[in-house]
Amino acid sequence: MIDPFAPTYPPLPDDTAETRVQHALSLFELNSMVRAMLQHTMGDCYWVAAEVSEIRTASNGHCYLEFVQKDANSGSLVAKARANIWRSDYVRISSSFERATGQRLTSGIKVMAFVSVKFHELYGFSLNVLDIDPTYTLGDLAQRRQQIIKQLEEDGVLELNKELPLPRVIRNVAVISSPTAAGYGDFCNQMEQSGFQFHIQLFAATMQGDHVEQSVIAALDDIAHHAEQWDVVVIIRGGGATTDLNGFDSYLLAANVAQFPLPVLTGIGHERDDTIVDLVAHTRLKTPTAVAAFLIDTRGNETLMLQALQERLIKAVEARLQLESSRLDVLTQRRTYSISRQVDMQRQHFNALSHRFEMASSRYVSKQREKVLRLASRMDVLTQMHIQRQQAQLQHYPQRLQQAVERWFMQAHHRHEILERSLHLAGPDRILAMGFSITTANGKAVRNANELKAGDELVTRFSKGSVHSIVK
């Protein structure tokens, strides 16, 4: 069967190398012919449906895009074209699109663009975008992203990783990246120059192409087997075309990241790039170097916080020690004063009791001595009276009287000795020496135990020493 769309070529002339050189076209001439043919055969402008895979705004105000078309079944690219929105039209087109759709003109959306076909001898084929229909629906990439995000929300896993607490001190970092990626090298260099000690281990993975999903999930599984060794997981890669990041818009990969037991930090692409993995990660950062800066700042803030806490703790301990030292000094002074007062009071009380006992003993001895002296005086008087009576009688009985007087005098002398001996035996010191004691209560001698009541303080004096007791 003959393909009607198959190109046909005129037969090659039977010429020599010399004639071929004479008839050969330069590249510029060929491109000029193509340009003229397009201008002659193509209309002025066309509405074209395409997906924006990449968009970039230059410093001069021009906008540069890349349009793509994918096979509906396989998802593989079937067409690609460069497009331009010149500065004179870009502000109008972008503002109108944003007002109508509520979002910026960005990659991943499908647009209906009004374009003119251009071909330049030097820059090749391109499209000049004159207008964009804002009523056209989101492109296939954006629709797929929305479907994935909706599915993650329905599964209840969209915010799971964000809910994990970030460790206060981050030291052990598991990195998922390509070992040859420039972004990984920038990340490592910045971490090494930070001055902090980080333990970084690379879990190599494919970061571009059709195997991103399986490769990154495998790396996550390896980290999960030893999750206790790591504080955070970092997924980084450098920038590139937006289509290069399609692997990070996978539902399966996003679900694994969202449910991972450790906080996941991402630095995928450039600032303008935004993937579903970024959306479900704990912390999304712009670039690999931004991830490194975040980890360094976190470590630095924790160091400053620890230093501040250390200073506060030292000051608090010093203040508490000073306070307790002051309290101890006061308690020591109070205790010393109290003990000294008690000792003084006890000493005064003992001295008073001793003095009272000595006074009582002295009075008792004096009374006994006075009694003896009175008895001796009376005895002398009676003896004299009796002698006088007997002398009167002796005149008649001199011999008998003399004998009687002598007997009586001897008896009186003997009585006198007995009285002196009795007086000696009746002295308080003699009584105490014999094992007796004297008990006083409130300074008075106790003669009747029934007069005492509970709580009375008793002082019992012995021949040597005294004892204090309390009546119960």
DSSP-derived 3-state class of residue 265: strand
Q: What is the pLDDT of residue 359?
A: 83
Domain ranges (residues) in the chain: 23-138, 143-286, 435-472
With 0-12 / 13-18 / 19 or more C-beta atoms within 10 angstroms meaning exposed / middle / buried, residue 28 is exposed
Q: What is the pLDDT of residue 131?
A: 93
Total residue count of the chain as it appears in this document: 472
Q: What is the pLDDT of residue 1?
A: 44
Q: What is the pLDDT of residue 257?
A: 95
Q: Using alpha carbons, list the distances in angstroms from residue 135 to 97, 98, 117.
A: 9, 11, 23
CA atoms of 248 and 252, how far apart (whole Å): 10
The pLDDT tens digits of the residues spanning 196-241 come to: 889 999 999 998 877 889 999 999 999 999 999 999 999 998 766 5
Provide the b/e sequence for 387-410 (b: ≥16 CB within 10 Å).
eeebeeebeeeeeebeeebeeeee
- Give the chain's mean pLDDT: 82
CB atoms within 10 A of CB 82: 15
The pLDDT tens digits of the residues spanning 13-24 come to: 556 667 777 778
Q: What is the pLDDT of residue 407?
A: 84
What is the side-by-side strand order in the sheet with 232-237? 199-204, 172-177, 232-237, 264-268, 283-284
CA atoms of 461 and 350, how far apart (whole Å): 12
What fold is seen in the domain 23-138? Answer: OB fold (Dihydrolipoamide Acetyltransferase, E2P) (2.40.50)
CA atoms of 410 and 397, how far apart (whole Å): 20
CA atoms of 34 and 27, how far apart (whole Å): 11
Low-confidence stretches of the chain (pLDDT beneath 50): 1-2, 4-5, 137
Largest CA distance in the chain: 219
Give, for 97, the enclosing helix (H) or strand (E): helix 87-101
CA atoms of 283 and 170, how far apart (whole Å): 14
CA atoms of 347 and 470, how far apart (whole Å): 18
Q: What is the pLDDT of residue 263?
A: 95
Q: Using alpha carbons, list the distances in angstroms from residue 258 to 14, 172, 264, 281.
A: 69, 20, 8, 6
CA torsion, points 307, 310, 311, 317, in degrees to nearest 10? 180
What fold is seen in the domain 143-286? Answer: Rossmann fold (3.40.50)
DSSP-derived 3-state class of residue 459: strand
Q: What is the pLDDT of residue 163?
A: 93
CA atoms of 31 and 43, how far apart (whole Å): 19
Cβ–Cβ < 8 Å for 176, 158: no
CA atoms of 27 and 155, how far apart (whole Å): 58
